[in-house]
Amino acid sequence: MLGTESLQYEVDWEALTRSNIARTKALMDEQDVDAVLVGTIENFRYLSGLPTNYTFAYSVVNWALLTMNEELPHLLALDYQKAAMERTASWHNPITPLPFDGTREARQPMDAGAWPALIANVCREAGVDKGVIALDPGIPFVIKDALVNELPTVTFVNACEILRDARFVKNEEELAAIRNACMIGEIGLRAGLKRIRVGAVEREVAGTIEQAMRTRGAENSLSVPFILSGDHPLLGYAYPSDKTIRNGELAILDVGCAFGGYYSDLCRTVYLGHPTREIEKAYEAMVKAIDRAIDTCRPGRTNIDVYNSLDETLRNETDGEHQLGWFGGHAAGLGINEEPMIGSSEKVNSYTLEEGMYLCIEPGLHLPGIGLMCIEEGVIVTADEPEVVTKSTRDLTRFR
Amino acid sequence: MQVTNGVTPDIDWKSLTQLNVQRTKALMEELDIDLVLVGAIDNWRYLTGLPLYYCIQWFVSNFAVLAREMTFPLLMPLEGPIAQMTKLAPWFDNVVPLPRAGASDAVTPAVPGPWIETIAGVLSGFGQSSHVVALDPALPFYIKDGLENALPRMEFVSAGELLRKARLIKNEEEIKAIRAACVIDEIAMDRALRAVEDGRTELEIAGIIDYNFRRHGAESSSANPFVGAGVYPQLGYLTPSNKVIRHGELVRIDIGCAYGGYYSDFSRSVSVGEPDAETKYIYDIVKTGLERASMAVRPGIMNYDLFTVCDKAMREASDGQYGMEWWFLGHGLGVGIHEDPMIGKEGSVEAFLLEEGMYFCLEPCITIPGRGMVGLEDDMIVTSDGVEILTRTGFCLTMTELGTIS
């Protein structure tokens, strides 16, 4: 399929999907669930390997019903996309069309309309209308309520834990997609670093990054490059703005994109001008902290260990002047923020790290009056050495 | 027929929100609803005028509650930096942040965490008597189930009907945001059309669009910018793709962006190289359909009348050979991308009497086998006596003839 061709890493979408399905079914079996029904962009991708138009308007228009007794899910999709989807992935079962015929299902605000009846039909045909069906947690209540009416002999439960546990660990094909996403993210970052300078406008830098990533095959348009310069009251809650980047400021470039639905997330810091020793020391401490923390990303360790490593190194290297807030990163995959979160033990759920997890470690500091500094790397937990999948230069980039 | 002039949006966001809130409250009164709880991107924006971390992950992640006695809704934004949004909008003085630290609700896949308790706590603060609470229809089922368990004396219904009616008519401040979105769309379209040449890929053109959206102040693109060259979009699935644009192909560009959360949606089609006679002929038919239907827009006619006008105009222009290929001609827009009124064939779409303040696009198209699709689209608002066409890019089949048809 044009546009999601691999940049360097080949992705076998059929193998990726079958592997995800096998993992999900093992968890379904453990929980005595007969079927899982998904309808959100991420979870539909997880169980079908098929892309969706990345927009909230289309956030619930493609459905997959995975049953214990079948190898591939039953698929339902917008009727005018059906033929193209079937051509894209001919290894799938034929797709049941969902009409987009002037009723309200794909509208905002939405209404369940005719779709629950069609989904219910598929459930009946699949023989799961008397069992336990676990639902994608993102399914709107108007649809679930209609499904309950249509299928009174079904017990509906939440599939959140099954999907969370399934998505924790990425298979080899998923990791290949993630590596490609990281590479495209690096391309975007490089374009941003070339564009940024004193007098540049934050939005210009962000647009340059988005253009570079799109041109190389980034799929989505709904994660914004955060170009945040200087220090002002809205720092941390601001889109890249019309603010002009000035001498004497720090600026962060926090970028990421989706390749085949899988996200990268990376961040670098620049200083406009010649940094003071204080700024350099803080930066060196931050880089040391991330490297030590990356080293803790091993099977058997926990997400809390990773956080503690970040926090401890920062404190030690800055004589207590700098420390981390509760947040030091997150996992990613088909979602931008997945569990495990990298945070303190009082603040986040603890998970043991496993081979195949993909973490984004992002220590950040705020220097009052100067700005934010942050570095973020993507790390895959392997059987031995952690694999850093984001390769951009770590140097505190300086501009005169 | 009025043509949009305003390009510098000087939007009074406080007023925009007040007007939306007033409209919503009037409908709450009519429908006997005590509280409205919204959480999806579009409805959140409608009732608060506020942006959020624009990320599909957080499609439902900031909540707002409106009670009939409030002037502005109570906000339940994601905690931390996002709660600073009240600095942008100091008229919100009632804020209860939703936790992010340790909240499994704030990641995907969402696992029920502390949010239900926080939201239930806020709702229960509205009095001991049972209330009718209308919920954003996109709210995940587990939140509704959780709230029903926590608040057994409250009745939870869908706010879909109410919000649909409220959002149908745009106020003057919303229209300013819409005009701005359309202007940004035009700029991106202009740059994109000028970049179309053989040898470029669809993705390169899309990248130019992404840049211009961001550069000129759009908050987001409505979807992946549709850049479809030749017949590939019919065979393929998602555009834009790596497909190389070739001489002789038609390229249809269908893009939209949001300014302040309000969306535009806009298409032009262009030939790579000199188009043949058939293509020029068909282009003219589509253009005629769009122009006639646009000029017919006024309060008092039905939405499906526009379909009839467009279809008839196309048939007249082609001696009956071409008309509307399917039931769909266009759709409403606003904080959403597909809103009421849908514009289409009578019987296929819900009937709406056009009223001042309705906002929609018209997008007729004809597919030329072997060459591609000719699609033309404009955005427009119903005025007191006619229409204001918001998108002004000329109709040109090849870029060398901007503004004319040869």
Whole-complex ipTM: 0.95
Mean pLDDT of all residues in A345-354:
95
Q: Work out the average pLDDT over A66-94.
A: 91
> According to the per-residue pLDDT averaged within each range, which of B41-45, B228-232, B368-372 is highest?
B41-45
* B74 and B28 part of one domain: yes
> pLDDT tier at A5 (50, 70, 90 boundaries)?
low
In a shared domain, residues B116 and B248: no
Amino acid at residue number B45:
R
Residue B291 within a domain: yes
Cβ <8 Å between A224 and B208 = no
Q: State which residue of chain A sits closest to B160, comparing Cα positions.
A: A109
CB contact under 8 A, B339 and A5: no
What residue in A sits closest to B86 (Cα-Cα)?
A234
What letter would DSSP give residue A327? E
Task: Determine whether the interchain pair A110/B138 forms a contact, defined as Cβ–Cβ distance below 8 Å.
Answer: yes
pLDDT digits (tens, 9 = 90+) for B288-331: 999 999 999 999 999 999 999 999 999 999 999 999 988 999 99
Choice among A35-49, A150-164, B222-236 with the minimum mean pLDDT: B222-236
pLDDT at B367 over 70: yes
pLDDT in tens, B147-205: 999 999 999 999 999 999 999 999 999 999 999 999 999 999 999 999 999 999 999 99
In a domain, B406, yes or no: no
For A319, residues 6+ apart whose C-beta sits below 8 A from its C-beta are none
Residues of chain A contacting B43 with CB distance shorter than 8 Å: 109
Q: Residues A268-297: what's their mean pLDDT? A: 96
Per the structure block, which two tokens stand in for A150? 């249509």
pLDDT at B283: 95
Would B367 be classed as within a structural domain? Answer: yes
Domain match, B131 and B179 both: no
Contacts of B373 (CB under 8 A, 6+ apart): B228, B233, B234, B250, B252, B269, B365, B366, B367
H or E element at residue B61: strand B60-67
Does residue B89 share a domain with residue B18? yes
Q: Which residues of B touch A137 (CB under 8 A)?
A: 109-112, 140-142
Check whether A382 has a pLDDT greater than 60: yes
Q: Indicate if B387 and B251 belong to the same structural domain.
A: yes
**pLDDT range class, residue B2, cuts 50, 70, 90:** very low
So where are chain A's domains?
13-167, 172-399
> Would an 8 Å CB–CB cutoff place A210 in contact with chain B?
yes
Residues B375 and B393 in one domain: yes
Q: What is residue B51's three-state secondary structure?
A: coil
Mean per-residue pLDDT of chain A: 92
CB contact under 8 A, B109 and A57: no
Nearest residue of B to residue A337, measured between CA atoms: B107
Could you tell me whether strands A35-38 and A132-135 are parallel, antiparallel, or unpaired per DSSP bridges? parallel
CATH number for the domain that contains residue B396: 3.90.230.10
Domain co-membership, B240 together with B369: yes
According to DSSP, the residues that pair with A95 across neighbouring strands are A75
Give, for A35, the enclosing helix (H) or strand (E): strand A35-38
Inform me whether the pLDDT recorded for B344 exceeds 60.
yes
CATH numeric code, A172-399: 3.90.230.10
Which residue from B83, B186, B90 is spatially nearest to B393, judged by alpha carbons? B186
End residue of a domain, out of B167, B197, B213: B167
Kindly write down the DSSP assignment for every residue of B181-199, as one continuous string: HHHHHHHHHHHHHHH--BT
Domain match, B179 and B136 both? no
Residues B154 and B223 occupy one common structural domain: no
Reply yes or no on whether the pLDDT at B404 is more than 50. Answer: no
**pLDDT over 60 (residue A323):** yes
Express as a percent the part of chain B with pLDDT over 70. 92
User: Is the pLDDT assigned to residue A2 strictly greater than 60?
Assistant: no
Are the Cβ atoms of A219 and B213 closer than 8 angstroms? no
**Model confidence at B16: pLDDT above 60:** yes
CB-nearest to B222 from A55, A211, A347 is A55
Which residues in B lie closer than 8 A to residue A3 (C-beta atoms)?
A: 202-203, 238-243
Last residue of a domain, one of B167, B199, B219: B167
State whether A215 and B236 contact (CB < 8 Å): no
A16 interface with B at CB cutoff 8 Å: no
C-alpha radius of gyration, chain A, whole number:
23
Domain span at residue B296? 172-401
> From CA A332, how far away is CA A359, in angstroms rounded?
6
- Sign of the Cα pseudo-torsion (B212, B216, B217, B222, in order): negative
Q: Which residues 223-262 in chain B show a CB within 8 A of chain A?
A: 223-225, 232, 234-243
Total domains, chain B: 2
| pLDDT score, position B57 | 58
Q: Check if B346 contacts A (Cβ < 8 Å).
A: no
Closest CA to A67 of A13, A123, A14: A123
Q: Does one domain contain both B78 and B35? A: yes
* Greatest Cα pair distance in chain B: 73
* Cα separation values, A122 from A89, A118, A146, Å: 20, 6, 14
CB B195 within 8 A of CB B214: no
Sheet with A155-158: strands ordered across: A95-98, A74-78, A63-67, A35-38, A132-135, A155-158
| Residue B3 predicted with pLDDT over 50 | no
Residue A83 has pLDDT above 80, yes or no: yes
Classified as helix, coil or strand, A335 is: coil
Instruction: State yes or no: pLDDT of A75 exceeds 70.
Output: yes
Q: Is the pLDDT of residue B266 over 70?
A: yes
Query: In this structure, which long-range contacts are made by residues A397-400, counting pairs with CB atoms below 8 Å and at least 24 apart in sequence?
Result: A397/A193, A397/A268, A397/A269, A397/A270, A397/A271, A398/A270, A398/A271, A398/A272, A398/A273, A398/A274, A398/A275, A399/A196, A399/A197, A399/A198, A399/A270, A399/A271, A399/A272, A399/A273, A400/A273, A400/A274
Q: Is the confidence at residue A194, as pLDDT, over 90? A: yes
DSSP β-bridge partners for residue B343: B330
Topology match between the domains A13-167 and A172-399: no
B133, B151, B167 — which closes off a domain? B167
Residue of A nearest to B211 (CA): A207
A310 pLDDT band (50/70/90 cuts)? very high
Q: Quick count: other Cβ atoms within 10 Å of Cβ A174?
A: 25
For residues B163 and B177, state if they share a domain: no
| A7 at interface of B, judged by CB pairs closer than 8 A | no
Q: What is the fold, at CATH topology level, of the domain defined by A13-167? A: Creatine Amidinohydrolase; Chain A, domain 1 (3.40.350)
Which has the closest alpha carbon to B179: B44, B329, B10?
B10
Any domain includes B8: yes
Could you give phi then psi for residue B339, rounded to 5 degrees? Answer: -120, 180
Whether A43 contacts chain B with CB within 8 A: yes
CA B308 → CA B1, B141, B311, B381, B382, distances in Å?
Answer: 20, 40, 5, 19, 18
Residue A148, phi then psi, degrees to nearest 5: -60, -40
Chain A residues 61-120 within an 8 A CB cutoff of chain B: 81, 84-85, 87-88, 101-104, 106-111
C-alpha span between A339 and A342 (Å, rounded): 8
By the CB < 8 Å criterion, does B205 face chain A? no
Residue B222 confidence class, pLDDT cut points 50, 70, 90: confident
pTM of the model: 0.95
Instruction: Note the pLDDT tens digit of each residue in B352-361.
Output: 999 999 999 9
Provide the angle, in degrees to the nearest 10, between the axes of the packed helices B41-48 and B13-30: 110
Q: Could you tell me if A256 and A223 are in contact, meaning their C-beta atoms sit under 8 angstroms apart?
A: yes
Residue whose C-alpha is closest to residue B54's, from B245, B301, B231, B220: B220
Dihedral angle, C-alpha A42, A48, A49, A54, nearest 10 °: -40
| DSSP SS3 for A77 | strand
pLDDT in tens, A210-233: 999 999 999 875 578 899 999 876
Same domain, B134 and B203: no
Let me know if residue B50 belongs to a domain: yes
**Run of H or E residues at A150:** helix A141-150
Render pLDDT for A199-215 as a digit per residue (tens, 0 to 9): 999 999 999 999 999 99
Give the max Cα distance, chain A.
70
